[in-house]
Amino acid sequence: MDQFEADIVVIGAGVIGLAIARAAARRGRDVIVLEAEEAIAVHTSSRNSEVIHAGLYYAAGSYKARFCVEGRRKLYAYLEEHGIDYKNCGKLVVAHPDETDGLSGILSRAEENGVEDLRIISGKEARAIEPALSPDIAAAIQSPVSGIFDSHGYFLALQGELEDRGGMIAFGTRVVSGEVRSGGADLVTAGETPAKISARTVINAAGHHAISVAACIDGPHQAGLPTPRYVKGNYFSILGKTPFSRLIYPMPGRASLGLHLTVDLAGRGKLGPDAEWLPEDASPPFDYKVDPARAGHFYASARRYWPDLPDGALAPDYAGVRPKIVGPGEPSGDFIIDTAAPGLINLMGIESPGLTSSLAIGDYVAGLLD
């Protein structure tokens, strides 16, 4: 077994791992990223709506609120600077008459989080800008700072910056054990060339595997690890032209932001994700197939705000799985950035809005290294 020393080791080459590694490399640190798969951003990072979230829904003072708003501003600037495709299309959060009381709560929370330029508009105003909306929509929040972007171009840009500054990614490298020690942490990896790595700091950004990776590294952090739970989010593509130019979101639920409608950069519409709780004992790897039988729920949900959605317009597309630290019926948890063990930082429960938040999370964690 090979043995070597390292400065910073990041576990996971999803968007959070890449953003942290890039930020640390920009600060002059030597960075190695360990990725169990053979490519970057294979799971949660690339199986989502590619939405740039404004920061509407998250509890004031939470990591989600802070990093979403800061990350969204940084992300737009980054996409512009690097020539990555995006569209600042805006969003409507639409409400039926029995839901309108909830809009003021979302608005006040969002404004407390620092979200700009929001306003509540009437159903008539909403239909003036999106005529396909249901006449039953009584009011909406208009968020002009929401958008969509080419997430894969973004991942490649992060990887390129990391490598340009001397960082590297070791693909096909899985962490199987480790130990926190004075002055850092040791890891044992499996793969084509198993190794023991002694690092000054280890950052666990392993996504679906983050809690199990934390559990396999001996140290004081193990006593407080949450129980992992997972929610599968299915998407259906919309065949033919979609008569909306903005993101259309229903009022949010506990497990997700609702079955929303997006139009991607190529003009293709899709609906999703729904929220399918996986069994308590579920663990990676996951089955990403979309059950065509779920289409009935998608038609019923979408027709509450798009009544003219025609029969036969939906086709099963793709799915993603969100790592959760809470169970069904419980309030959505916050991101966990755990520094209980010196030499080890664990990031757990990084679900939506993790993609939007990624640059802010990267800068924050890299700052902890200083």
3-state SS, 196-224, equals: EEEEEEEEECCHHHHHHHHHCEECHHHHH
Question: How many structural domains are present in the chain?
Answer: 2
Helices (H) and strands (E) counted in the chain, each on its own, are 8, 21
Sign of the dihedral defined by the CA atoms of residues 230, 344, 360, 169, in that order = negative
Which amino acid is present at 292? P
CA-CA distance, 287 to 75, in Å (whole number)? 30
CA-CA distance, 263 to 252, in Å (whole number)? 19
For residues 34-45, average pLDDT: 97
Structure tokens at 89: 């299309």
Q: Answer yes or no: is 320 within a domain.
A: yes
pLDDT at 2: 86
The neighbouring-strand residues paired with 242 are none
Is the pLDDT score of 348 beyond 90?
Answer: yes
Q: Place 174 in a pLDDT band, splitting at 50, 70 and 90.
A: very high
Model pLDDT for residues 190-208, shown as the tens digit of each residue: 988 899 999 999 999 999 9
Is the pLDDT score of 61 beyond 80?
Answer: yes
Model pLDDT for residues 268-303, shown as the tens digit of each residue: 999 999 999 999 999 999 999 999 999 999 999 999
- Helix (H/G/I), strand (E/B), else coil: 311: coil
The neighbouring-strand residues paired with 59 are none
- In percent, the amount of the chain with pLDDT more than 90 equals 95
DSSP state of 334: P
- Helix (H/G/I), strand (E/B), else coil: 369: helix
CATH number, domain of 247, equals 3.30.9.10
Q: Place 254 in a pLDDT band, splitting at 50, 70 and 90.
A: low
pLDDT at 1: 81
pLDDT at 34: 98
pLDDT at 66: 98
DSSP state of 43: S
Q: Answer yes or no: is 96 within a domain.
A: yes
- Nearest Cα to Cα of residue 24 among 345, 323, 340: 345
pLDDT at 155: 98
Q: Answer yes or no: is 192 within a domain.
A: yes
Q: Are residues 208 and 265 in the same domain?
A: no
Range of the domain at 109: 88-146+228-324
Q: Place 56 in a pLDDT band, splitting at 50, 70 and 90.
A: very high
Sign of the dihedral defined by the CA atoms of residues 72, 76, 78, 83, in that order = positive
| Residue 253 CB partners (closer than 8 Å, separation 6+) | 275
Model pLDDT for residues 107-122, shown as the tens digit of each residue: 999 999 999 999 999 9
CA-CA distance, 123 to 92, in Å (whole number)? 11
Q: Answer yes or no: is 28 within a domain.
A: yes
DSSP state of 326: S
Cβ burial, residue 242 (10 Å; 0-12/13-18/19+) = buried
Q: Are residues 218 and 358 in the same domain?
A: yes
CA-CA distance, 346 to 263, in Å (whole number)? 34
The neighbouring-strand residues paired with 17 are none
Q: Are residues 233 and 128 in the same domain?
A: yes
CA-CA distance, 64 to 326, in Å (whole number)? 15
Residues 325 and 226 sit within 8 Å (Cβ to Cβ): yes
CATH number, domain of 198, equals 3.50.50.60
Q: Are residues 191 and 178 in the same domain?
A: yes
Q: Are residues 93 and 172 in the same domain?
A: no
Residues 147 and 87 sit within 8 Å (Cβ to Cβ): yes
Q: Are residues 142 and 246 in the same domain?
A: yes
Is the pLDDT score of 257 beyond 70?
Answer: no
For the chain, what is the mean pLDDT? 96
pLDDT at 256: 60
| Cα dist from 186 to 7, 12, 175, 197, 216, whole Å | 11, 16, 10, 6, 11
Model pLDDT for residues 329-344, shown as the tens digit of each residue: 888 899 999 999 999 9
Q: Are residues 159 and 306 in the same domain?
A: no
Q: Are residues 120 and 234 in the same domain?
A: yes
